[in-house]
Structure 1
Amino acid sequence: MSDELDLARGHVRRVLDAVDPEDLAMATPCSGWEVGRVLAHLADSADVVTRLLETGELTYTESARGEVSDPVGLARQRLAAMDAALSVAAPDRAAAARLPALVELTVHGWDVGVALDPAHRVPESLAAHVLSHVETVLVGEARGDRFAAPLAVPDDAPASDRLVAFLGRTPPA
C-alpha cells in the first residue's frame, strides 16, 4: 500500500499547489465547507494519523483552532509531520495508519480539487485501490456520521466517481 500512499501524497500535493489565497472561500462538494475549512480538516486528519502512529489509538477529533490564516501552509506542515512519523513508526502502527491516511488524503484532495476544477478526478489506479478497501471497511455502523450514505452511480463509472459516490459525495457531471 505504500505505492498507493505515495500516489495519494502526490495527488494532495498537486491540489495544494493549485490553491491560491482567493480560492479559500470557494465552496467544496461538502455542504457548508469551503476550501479553507477542508484544508484545516485535512491538517486535523494528518494529526489524527500522526497520533495513531505515535500512540496506536485512532481517535478522530477536530481542532478548535478557529479561523486559520494559512490553511495550505498548515496542511503542508501537518502532512510533513505525518510523513515523518510514518517513516519511523513501528511496522504494526505504520500498517494500521496507512488506510486512514490513504482515505483522508485521497478524498480531501478530491474535495478541494473539484472545488478548483469541476473536471478534477482522483487518479484511477488510486481511486480503484482506495475503493476496494473502503467498500469492505465502511459498511453499516462503521460509516458513523463521518460519511453520508453512498450514492448510486453506474457500475461502469470511473473509479474516481465510484469512490466519491461511495463516500456520499456527488461526482461531477
Structure 2
Amino acid sequence: MTTRISELLAAAAERTVPVVQGIDDKQLFDATPCTDFNVSDLVNHLFQVVTNFQVLATKGAPDFSSAPDFVRADWRERFAIETRTLIEAWSDPAAHEGNSPGMGFPQQVVGGMALLDLTVHGWDLAQGTGQPYRPDDAAVASLRPLAEQMAPKAREMGVFAAMTAFPPDADDFTRLLALTGRKPD
C-alpha cells in the first residue's frame, strides 16, 4: 500500500467510530447487511478485530477462537479507545515489516485486512442502524486490489459472500461492497 496503513486506519476510524458511538441500545438486535451478524454481533466482531489486530501489529499470536461480549457498560468509548490503540500499534514502522506469524501473510496485507473490516463493517453498522457513512477515498482505493486478491479464498472460507451485481458506472466503494458480497443498493 502506498500510504502507511496507520494513516488509512485513522481515516477509517474517523468514519466508523462515530457510527459505533451512534448506535442506540434499542438497535443492538437489528439486522445488518452482514447476514451472519446483527448489530450487537457485529460490534463484538469489530472489537475482536480491533484488539486482535493490535496484537498482529506486534507479530504476536491473536486469539480469534471466541467472540467475547464487548457490548456492556462503556462499550462505545472502549471501542474508540481500542481503535486508537490499533492505529498506534500500526504506526510503528516495525509493524509493516516481514510476515505475520499469526496469519501467514505479509504484514502489509494483515494491516489491510484490519482496514477492510473497519471500513466495510462501518458501512454495515451504518446501514443496520440508519446512519450515514462515507468511507475515506484513499482507504477504498487501497482496499480494492487487496479485496480482489483475497476474494476467492475469502469466499471459500465464508468470509466474503458471493459477489453481488453493481452498475457499470459504480464508484469504487460500491464495487468494493459488491466484491465482499454486499448489496450496496
Kindly report the root-mean-square deviation, in angstroms, between the aligned alpha carbons of the 2 structures. Answer: 2.7
1:68 aligns with 2:71: yes
1:28 aligns with 2:41: no
* Residue-by-residue CA offset, 1:53-101 (whole Å, 9 max, x unaligned): 12256x6715342473244344223323322322336141663542112
* Residue-by-residue CA offset, 1:19-71 (whole Å, 9 max, x unaligned): 222222221112242212111100101122112112256x6715342473244
Q: What SS does structure 1 have at the residue aligned with 2:181?
A: coil
Return the alpha-carbon distance in structure 2 between the equivalents of residues 130 and 30 of structure 1: 18
Please list, as runs of the form range in 1=range in 2, the aligned pairs for 1:74-113 lying within 5 A after superposition.
74-88=78-92, 90=94, 91-92=96-97, 95-113=108-126
Identity %: 28
| Segment drifting more, 64-73 vs 161-170 | 64-73
CA contact (8 A) 1:128 1:163 kept: no
Unaligned runs of 5+ in 2: 99-106
Please list, as runs of the form range in 1=range in 2, the aligned pairs for 1:6-155 lying within 5 A after superposition.
6-55=10-59, 61-66=64-69, 68-70=71-73, 71-88=75-92, 90=94, 91-92=96-97, 95-117=108-130, 120-135=133-148, 137-143=149-155, 144-155=157-168
Q: What SS does structure 1 have at the residue aligned with 2:159?
A: coil
Number of residue pairs the alignment of both structures matches: 170
CA contact (8 A) 1:40 1:74 kept: no
Return the alpha-carbon distance in structure 2 between the equivalents of residues 153 and 83 of structure 1: 32
Q: 1:102 to 1:67 in 2, by over 3 A?
A: closer
Q: 1:81 to 1:123 in 2, by over 3 A?
A: closer
Return the alpha-carbon distance in structure 2 between the equivalents of residues 84 and 124 of structure 1: 21
| Segment drifting more, 114-123 vs 161-170 | 114-123
Return the alpha-carbon distance in structure 2 between the equivalents of residues 27 and 118 of structure 1: 14
Residue 183 of structure 2 corresponds to 170
Moved over 6 A (4+): none
Q: 1:55 to 1:119 in 2, by over 3 A?
A: closer
| Segment drifting more, 65-74 vs 147-156 | 65-74
Unaligned runs of 5+ in 1: none
Letter in 2 for 1:84: E
CA contact (8 A) 1:12 1:105 kept: yes
CA contact (8 A) 1:24 1:35 kept: yes
CA contact (8 A) 1:113 1:120 kept: yes
TM-score w.r.t. structure 1 length?
0.80
| Segment drifting more, 77-86 vs 35-44 | 77-86
1:126 to partner: Cα distance: 3.3
TM-score w.r.t. structure 2 length?
0.76
